[in-house]
Structure 1
């Protein structure tokens, strides 16, 4: 007897555009199982739509800041020229420089407008892709989705060239976030090279949003810069740096500031456990991981890659105590040792109901096709036993053990 467990619990629910469900409604003539599968698949596409939209909003905010800054500066310069007693020649020269500045602003706005249009088109392409999903092309749609998930995993693991090649070959560049991850690539490479400047610039670009989420990433970067000055025995520079960059954080993270200031009394080679950890190289690895988390939060991404999430969900749904028994059927993926290792830290599936599947016919055993128990204890479906008895003049042979008995010796089992 095979037991195919059905996991219980609530399905994943995330906000998605309402018009993405029109595809499922249009496919009402398709089998209900496929429609249900399609509906559940679309519920998992929150990140698919959120990331390009957040990128689009960020580009708009950046362009808006550039305009505000340049216009404010130009207006201020015009007022200064009007109030000053310059000769006509000097005034014309100052105004010409302002004209050149405005022309430069125009070029920046044109470039920004192109970037906005490209990102708006990407959002439109993703909406169209979700709307194109229906029960008829579900297999092809899921294949595209698998490639998207693989590209997402490669980008998170910093396999940028491989991810880009797969996206180009599969013609899914509009469905993946390569341009977004290239923004993170510069910061990650710099942090791995013990350089915090690009990370601080990224914090400055996203200051308002990081402040809103109460992020302490910029503070961690400042602490690390201070530690590097202490490591280089530049104590005066470290004190000046602390006054300028760490003191504003004192009201929020006083204990951390006091702890790091105490390193001025120690060398980078100290053996004191409290301060030795601050000089260890793994602090840079911690900053890389911290940046990845802040980056994902900023764009509405999951912290774990989608590949890991789907694998864990699938393995957990399949995992039952029966999977680890010696007589576990070979058709169960968790009968394989590698899958068992992957599933080891995951919880067992939460089961509200179980299905009994016939070993011979693979049909479901229920009230219409009840299970029959052989004298040796093995269970098969009524249809399978009747078919075998019809072919062998009422004789039944167990396909697992080879034991032989008459059909009349079988006992019906009841499912409660």
Structure 2
């Protein structure tokens, strides 16, 4: 999909609309001024001069021809509006059935659970409950956990850290195992709240009891305590960063990520990721299928996409190896193999180069080494 051409067409429509509006406003203002001027002259002139004054006004309106000027501006706008749907129709392929594989069997129960889980992890509990009831599914196993998570997040929105701190303390060992600094973030926010109340001694006592234990984060804890020296004018201090709302946003993101992690869930919705990645892949796949329509391409029997799709890094969850010779992506039947020289090719490429094992050795395509087939070893990413 060429988004640039769609954006350019939209920008043209928007610009023509602005020009049409400006032209209409200009003409209306000009006519209003001329009418006000004529009324002023009529009030001061004798009744015998009214006819000639009105004739002059009519002549002026005829010369200006406001209707023609408005029609010209509207015509340019209409031309742009007419072309825009054609650009959309050209770029947006509404028939996506060509990319649908009808030989894929879906487990309805699993799909329903995935959708319900999506609603709950987004905090849409009423919609999730309604969906579960209408589909006749059993309650999603993650509902209770996500409900607790959103109660904690709602409390944080109201600057109430107690539920979040209670959860972090109860899961302290697990958070340490994954090297999360969530508890320190929450303790720091609580410390700053105490200090904001101008109670420096209470803040120091809190730091000694709850923050000093984070010995691995000494620079951060030192900065927190030193900020007390500027307690009455923190905004103009070297520690003004502690006033940033980003501290709360980061704590919310970290709590969400770690809560989902301890549940065995990803911090981002799998359904959202799948749909977003699919929408980026679909236009490329449809274009390829249209090009190959006359070559009897059978998408139903393909085990992988017939064309490479470059997705952003956030959609790459495992290592992928592409053979530098055949340009084919490795698979279970065609795994990457490291040769004795250290270079890596796919198994099928090595078989072709050794003529399906009829030759015990062959030359590496990237160095002059004679490769012994028996010494090739499969790599596991």
TM-score (ref. length: structure 1): 0.43
Q: TM-score, normalised by structure 2?
A: 0.46
Indicate the structure (1 or 2) with the bigger Cα radius of gyration: 2
Structure number with higher relative contact order (C-alpha < 8 Å, ≥ 6 residues apart): 1
